[in-house]
Each structure stands twice: as structure tokens, then as C-alpha cells.
Amino acid sequence: IVLTQSPATLSLSPGERATLSCRASQSVGSFLAWYQQKPGQVPRLLIYHASTRATGIPDRFSGSGSGTDFTLTITSLEPEDSAVYYCQERSKRLFGGGSKVEIK
């Protein structure tokens, strides 16, 4: 299984919506997670089972998709959302290459 994330980098203004994609080379069902890693920080689990927010994650973060195509949406971006976002499938524990979100 290979996870391909796009875009590599996204540059948006505060208040805008970010849409990140993760495509799997074969179906992973709904077993996909999203992580956020801010500069110099430890990765944090955001979303699991494709659409379930982890504890304490704001509702501006949402996940969708199943099979091979998944999306992480961040509505109304805030400056602290500047980070790299990774997807991960759980059967082989594989990570995607990451998408960087920059806030203008």
C-alpha cells in the first residue's frame, strides 16, 4: 500500500478553507488517520477511522472518504494550523509523505 498526499504545500490566508488529499494505492476501507505536526513538535492524532475526531480536536478539522480517496478539511484556518499533515493507514502502519499548510 502506498499513500500519496497532495498538494505538497498549500498557502492560504486565515479564515480560508484547506482541503488536503490522501490517496491509497489500494482500498484501506475507512481505516485511515490524519496527524498534525507543527514545527519542532511531536505529531498529534487529529482524525481516525477517516472521520472521527480525536479527543480535544476542534471541530474545524474534519475528515471524509473511504476506500482509496480521503480528505482532511480545515474550515476557517487559524495561524496555529500552520503545520505538516500526514495520513496513515492502520493495517501496515504506513504514512503518507505529508502536506504542508502555510498560513499567509
| Footprint of another protein (CB under 8 A) | 31, 33, 35, 37, 42-45, 48, 54, 84, 86, 88, 90-91, 93-98
| Residue among 13 and 41 whose Cβ is closer to another protein | 41
How many other C-beta atoms are found inside a 10 Å radius of the C-beta of residue 36?
22
| Residue among 81 and 86 whose Cβ is closer to another protein | 86
Residue 81's φ and ψ, nearest 5 degrees, are -85, 0
| Residue among 61 and 86 whose Cβ is closer to another protein | 86
Please report, for residues 1, 27, 69, the alpha-carbon distance to residue 61 in angstroms, rounded to integers and kept in the order given: 25, 23, 17
CB of 19 to another protein, least distance (A): 20
What is the C-alpha to C-alpha distance for residues 44 and 42, in angstroms, rounded to an integer?
A: 6
